[in-house]
Structure 1
Amino acid sequence: MPTVEEKLAAMKADLADRDGVLVAFSGGVDSSVVAALAHDALGDDAVACTAKSETLPDAELEDANEVAEEIGIRHEIAEFSELDDPAFVANDDDRCYHCRTMRLGTMFERASELGIDIVCDGTNADDVDAGHRPGLRAVEELDAYSPLLQHDISKAEVREIAELYDLSVADKPAMACLSSRIPTGLEVTEERLSRIERAETLLRQWGFSQFRIRDHDGLARIEVGEDELSRALDEEFASAARDYLTELGFDHVTLDLGGYRTGSVSPEGESADAESESKRTDEPLVEDVFSTDYPTSDS
């Protein structure tokens, strides 16, 4: 079985054979590794491109700018709007397919403007076994090239390579697009995306590293990593979070005692931005919360 070093060398040689590539670049660890290797192999003939839309938090765009500068790769910004597509707004089980189709389509348009034929993405070898992945269908249909997948590089190996390149994002937690915070079947709107982003900006400023604000049609469900849950249970934090999120337009503010879980509002097995998604119930989570019979001291 090839070592990480052997896979790395093969991927660099593969990229070096290309006339040029444009890397669909989010600033996450997967696309950053592809960008670093592409720049290493092709120099100025490699370009990183970030698609800016309503679902990309400003903080993530800032991070992408910083990582591109860190790598030394040319960085392009291409703007588009997912909210122009009614199928995306409807937020059905194939939301990620509609999103990825538009996002990669924007990448191919920019690549064409730059005279580049190949668009690379950060799909890794673990992603194909992550269950329902409509976004991968878009990658296949648009014929984007996935060098990590092609050379059988797993997520763990991606992080190992990121450390070899001394990338600051080597241990960066996953950060799926803002629409992944909205339960399937509830429309994606600019208002919801905006209040989610502003709420998550606050959590970031308060020092939380793994978190989500799930928007259940006006009820904010705060998820934080299990190792940070005790901080979120602090009375001062609870009071401040309630006051601020209410000001943002949420009717109710709750803390999920189960902690952060990827895909807790998505279809079973769906994944967002290369992270596997899991649980789904047929009834809305908000109704489940208030219809549960909890034990009392008399029972």
Structure 2
Amino acid sequence: MVYQKLEQLKTNLRELNRIVVAFSGGVDSTFLLKVAVDTLGPERVLAITADSETYPSHELEEAKELAKRIGVKHQVIETSELAIPGYAENDLNRCYFCKKGLFEEVYPIMNKLGYENIVYGLIADDNSEYRPGAKAAKEYNVRGPLEEVEFYKEEIRELSKEFGLPTWDKPSFACLSSRIAYGERITQEKLNKVEKSELYLKGLGIRQMRVRTHEEIARIEVEPADMELVLRHHDEITKTIQSYGYKFVTLDLSGYKSGSMNKVLNL
């Protein structure tokens, strides 16, 4: 079944002809970029990565290396989500404003360079989650080829491993703003605190985590297997994360869960 999906994906990409891939360097967009280049050839694909306040610098460097490895033209554009009207207020439409702003930046580049379509890494799993960015994609006629053929994350990881992509087991990632509780204004200072805290925890050997921000509280989410490590180093972790500007540091016993901030939304 997974190979049937792959063949259908290739067919759909051929119909799109010359494409721009919104490329974050994550599991899904890397797989999409790889298949696009293999199917269309590098001359008909352009990867664009948005460098902004919500995108960690180490992720940008990884994206550059991945694009080089895949052998595709890669353009990094400077953007600012915090400058987009409505974004910093951080209501439930935050991701809509983000994607809308991104596509407005990418469309002129696509038209200028002679590409015909924009695609991004939406997948079938996203249909069961709150994804307001998908609304912006529909408004701008941006396609999600992986979702269209019902590719799921585990299938993408499986094929990514087969293709030799180093992202096959990369932890899931979302923009830094997703760590800040809805209704709490997003600022550069808060984004910096989150990035520093997560880089520090990563340095302890924790691969999958989130540092959720609730005003002065840092709520750490890790997978159950890593909780013992956090507790063993609780004093050091508390002092370090407090030094970044938090007053309280907590461990969420529910463990890591993608999109956990959405629990407060009554949708």
Higher helix share: 2
Q: 2:203 aligns with which of 198, 202, 205?
A: 205
Q: Does 1:45 align with 2:44?
A: yes
Asked if structure 1 preserves the Cα contact closer than 8 Å seen for 2:22 and 2:118, the reply is yes
Amino acid at match of 1:53: S
Instruction: Tell me what 1:186 maps to.
Output: 184
Shift of 1:13: 3.0
Instruction: Tell me what 2:7 maps to.
Output: 9
Shift of 1:262: 2.0
Amino acid at match of 1:106: E
Instruction: Report Cα offsets for 1:253-278 as digits up to 9, x if no partner.
Output: 22222221222223xxxxxxxxxxxx
**Cα RMSD (Å):** 1.7
Instruction: Report Cα offsets for 1:197-249 as digits up to 9, x if no partner.
Output: 11111111111101011111121111111111110110xx2122222212211
Q: Which runs of 5+ in 2 are unaligned?
A: none
1:150, 1:219 → 2: CA distance?
A: 39
Asked if structure 1 preserves the Cα contact closer than 8 Å seen for 2:230 and 2:237, the reply is no
Aligned to 1:208, the other structure's residue is in SS state coil
1:249, 1:122 → 2: CA distance?
A: 34
Q: Does 1:240 align with 2:236?
A: yes
Asked if structure 2 preserves the Cα contact closer than 8 Å seen for 1:223 and 1:259, the reply is yes
Instruction: Report Cα offsets for 1:62-97 as digits up to 9, x if no partner.
Output: 221222122122211111101112411110011111
Q: Does 1:251 align with 2:247?
A: yes
Using the TM superposition, name which of 141-150 and 182-191 deviates more.
141-150
Instruction: Tell me what 1:297 maps to.
Output: none
Instruction: Tell me what 1:269 maps to.
Output: none
2:226, 2:170 → 1: CA distance?
A: 16
2:6, 2:146 → 1: CA distance?
A: 9
Asked if structure 1 preserves the Cα contact closer than 8 Å seen for 2:171 and 2:208, the reply is yes
Instruction: Tell me what 1:56 maps to.
Output: 55
Asked if structure 2 preserves the Cα contact closer than 8 Å seen for 1:78 and 1:110, the reply is no
Asked if structure 1 preserves the Cα contact closer than 8 Å seen for 2:16 and 2:116, the reply is no
1:4, 1:281 → 2: CA distance?
A: 34
Q: 2:144 aligns with which of 140, 143, 146?
A: 146
Asked if structure 2 preserves the Cα contact closer than 8 Å seen for 1:100 and 1:138, the reply is yes
Q: TM-score, normalised by structure 2?
A: 0.93
Using the TM superposition, name which of 185-194 and 141-150 deviates more.
141-150
1:281, 1:233 → 2: CA distance?
A: 30
2:120, 2:180 → 1: CA distance?
A: 25
2:189, 2:73 → 1: CA distance?
A: 33
Aligned to 1:220, the other structure's residue is in SS state strand
Shift of 1:14: 2.8
Q: Which runs of 5+ in 1 are unaligned?
A: 267-278, 283-299
Pairs within 5 Å for 1:157-172: 157-172=155-170
Q: 1:31 aligns with which of 2, 5, 29?
A: 29
Shift of 1:16: 3.0
Amino acid at match of 2:222: V
Amino acid at match of 1:45: R
Asked if structure 1 preserves the Cα contact closer than 8 Å seen for 2:176 and 2:194, the reply is yes
Aligned to 2:166, the other structure's residue is in SS state coil
Q: Does 1:124 align with 2:123?
A: yes
Shift of 1:104: 2.4
Aligned to 2:74, the other structure's residue is in SS state strand
Asked if structure 1 preserves the Cα contact closer than 8 Å seen for 2:121 and 2:144, the reply is yes
Shift of 1:131: 4.0
Instruction: Report Cα offsets for 1:113-157 as digits up to 9, x if no partner.
Output: 3221211111122322x1432111011011001111222222222
Amino acid at match of 2:264: R
Asked if structure 1 preserves the Cα contact closer than 8 Å seen for 2:25 and 2:59, the reply is yes
Q: Which has the larger radius of gyration?
A: 1
Q: Does 1:96 align with 2:92?
A: no
Identity %: 38
Shift of 1:112: 2.4
Asked if structure 2 preserves the Cα contact closer than 8 Å seen for 1:53 and 1:80, the reply is yes
Instruction: Report Cα offsets for 1:157-193 as digits up to 9, x if no partner.
Output: 2222212211111121211100000000000111100
1:111, 1:218 → 2: CA distance?
A: 42
Number of aligned residues = 265
Amino acid at match of 2:27: V
Shift of 1:17: 4.0
1:104, 1:171 → 2: CA distance?
A: 28
Q: TM-score, normalised by structure 1?
A: 0.84
Name segments (4+ residues, structure 1) moved above 6 Å.
Answer: none
2:63, 2:225 → 1: CA distance?
A: 26
Aligned to 2:95, the other structure's residue is in SS state helix
Q: Does 1:68 align with 2:67?
A: yes
